[in-house]
Structure 1
Amino acid sequence: MDYSEASRPVAAQLAGKTAIVTGAASGIGRETAVLFAARGARVLAVDLDAAGLESLGEQARDLGLDIAGHVQDLTAEGAAERVFEACSTRFGTPDVLANIAGKAGDGPAGSTTDEDFDFFVSMNLTTAFRMSRQAVLQFGEAGGSIINTSSAFGVVGVGGSAPYSAAKGAVSSLTRQMAADYGPRNIRVNAVAPGLVETPATAERIRAGLFDDMVTRSRPIPRVGLPRDIANAFAFLASDDASFITGVTLPVCGGWSTTRFRAR
């Protein structure tokens, strides 16, 4: 057995790879884009937030990282094609896609309108499907890696989150299905299922203690997750270290979705 790869530094984990990261202007997407680049990848950072991408670009320049921003509404017709064309123009054919863009929300089925349901499906499932479809059309003979974003809410039943949980559960199902279809082409398809993570979208409610009873006190690791916790999982699944892993939804939630825990 050749152990030469075992001595490779973590800093070079993604060396030589070209990655597309969506939702990259803030939160988990931004942390993932920076971590990918810090570990050697060339990164096309995609988001609708132009100011956020400009800030990311400044951070990348300060750190000497190879990150280019691309402003795109992923729900628009033809968005996936435009993103992959931009990546090919700037860096060449991508071999990693991290589908992180999405939108969380609350509401039981009985009070969810058709418009609300369509919105959450579009933001969380349709965009991931279209980007993944384009990836398998663009990846070369060497294959590639797609990492989707599911959610702990898509793994277990949680009250008051019908449209979001349904969409994220479907992302996990799509992940398994595409893994079955495209494994023979050496295309791996996995997903990360984050639990509660402190981002600009959640920070205020976390500080107000709104998640304490439902989440923080009901898992064995009691701290709130950080974007870096999730980015580390994306980096592993994108790398050759995960070359024999496909069709998996990896919970990164402090044990919230995988244990039954009673706070002492």
Structure 2
Amino acid sequence: MVDTSTSPVTVIFGGGGGIGSEVARLLIQRGGRVLIASRDRGRLERTLEDLGTDTSRAQMTLADVTQSADVDAAFAAAQAHFGRVDAAVNAVGSILLKPAHLTTDDEWHSTLALNLSSSFFVLRAAAKAMLTTGGAMVFCSTVAAQIGLTNHEAIAAAKGGVDALVRSAAATYANRNIRVNAVAPGLVRTPLAARLTSSEASLKASTAMHPLGRIGEPADIAQAIVYLLSPEASWITGQTICVDGGMSTIKPR
């Protein structure tokens, strides 16, 4: 019987999405407790139903991660319900495939808000929650911030900012026993990437870019995130771990 009064608590933004919901499922399987946050009530409710656990183990809250007040409120909700926060994950992001000269101001600002500003808001709120107890955070970067890919200027810049944020925060909070890391996926089969994965031609081209011969699945990324949150990764901080089928370091045949 799991002692849910002492099991770790993780706040997951994007908890109704493909990767975030898989992170929640894995953490619950390992005896953890989660608060999943999203601005999509339907996805949150479906994720809670799929988790198949009671409210002592999983909670949901509506939150727009681009709004700092919503992020702060999500952490407050987790602390009010569970009494603590041990970890945080920001699995919110976007995909904008456009060259810079065709990218509008609104697209640029939206990309920064969803990817970089959201990560800063989560970092700030999580650090406040963990200052006296320690903890771990994981953010989502992208392979496009590691290598140059055509038509990725906006998202590469935003996620490159996430990588820099992770390194600086890891240095700032190391003496508080707070670890800060990121994962950098290649293309993953999620609802967010449906426009790319639903087309046979696009999927074939994307698959060919990954040396291991397939695109990623949500579990590939979620397992890396859960590892980085775990005690087994207690000596890892300030890192961006590429989980990309070899795309960032290996040239396909």
TM-score bucket of the superposed structures, by smaller chain: over 0.9
| TM-score (norm. length: structure 2) | 0.93
Unaligned runs of 5+ residues in structure 1 are 1-10
Query: Are the counterparts in 2 of residues 37 and 65 from structure 1 also a CA contact under 8 Å?
Result: no
Query: Are the counterparts in 1 of residues 189 and 215 from structure 2 also a CA contact under 8 Å?
Result: yes
Q: Partner of 1:6 in structure 2?
A: none
3-state SS, counterpart of residue 236 of structure 1: helix
**Counterpart Cα distance in 1 of 2:17 and 2:68:** 24
Q: CA deviation at 1:62?
A: 5.7
Q: Which of 122, 126, 139 is the aligned partner of 2:117? A: 126
Q: Partner of 1:90 in structure 2?
A: 81
Query: Are the counterparts in 1 of residues 142 and 183 from structure 2 also a CA contact under 8 Å?
Result: yes
Q: Partner of 1:4 in structure 2?
A: none
Which string of whole-angstrom CA distances, capped at 9 and with x for unpartnered residues, describes residues 63-110 of structure 1?
998211111112224122101111111112211001111111111111
RMSD: 1.9
Q: CA deviation at 1:180?
A: 0.9
Unaligned runs of 5+ residues in structure 2 are none
Which string of whole-angstrom CA distances, capped at 9 and with x for unpartnered residues, describes residues 133-173 of structure 1?
11111114331101000011111111101111110111011
Q: Partner of 1:177 in structure 2?
A: 168
Residues 68-147 of structure 1 mapped to structure 2, 5 A cutoff: 68-147=59-138
**Counterpart Cα distance in 2 of 1:64 and 1:233:** 26
**Counterpart Cα distance in 1 of 2:210 and 2:244:** 8
**Counterpart Cα distance in 1 of 2:208 and 2:56:** 38
Q: CA deviation at 1:202?
A: 2.3
**Counterpart Cα distance in 1 of 2:56 and 2:160:** 34
The answer on 1:18 being equivalent to 2:6 is: no
Q: Which of 212, 219, 229 is the aligned partner of 2:204? A: 212
**Counterpart Cα distance in 1 of 2:51 and 2:167:** 34
Q: Partner of 1:253 in structure 2?
A: 244
Q: Which of 140, 148, 151 is the aligned partner of 2:139? A: 148
The answer on 1:191 being equivalent to 2:182 is: yes
Which string of whole-angstrom CA distances, capped at 9 and with x for unpartnered residues, describes residues 11-57 of structure 1?
99xx8211001101121111111111111111000001101111111
The one-letter code of the counterpart of 1:123 is L
Q: Which runs of 4+ in 1 moved over 6 A?
A: none
3-state SS, counterpart of residue 212 of structure 1: helix
Equivalent residues, number: 249
| TM-score (norm. length: structure 1) | 0.89
Percent identity of equivalent pairs: 35
The one-letter code of the counterpart of 1:227 is P
Q: CA deviation at 1:205?
A: 3.0
Query: Are the counterparts in 2 of residues 38 and 65 from structure 1 also a CA contact under 8 Å?
Result: no
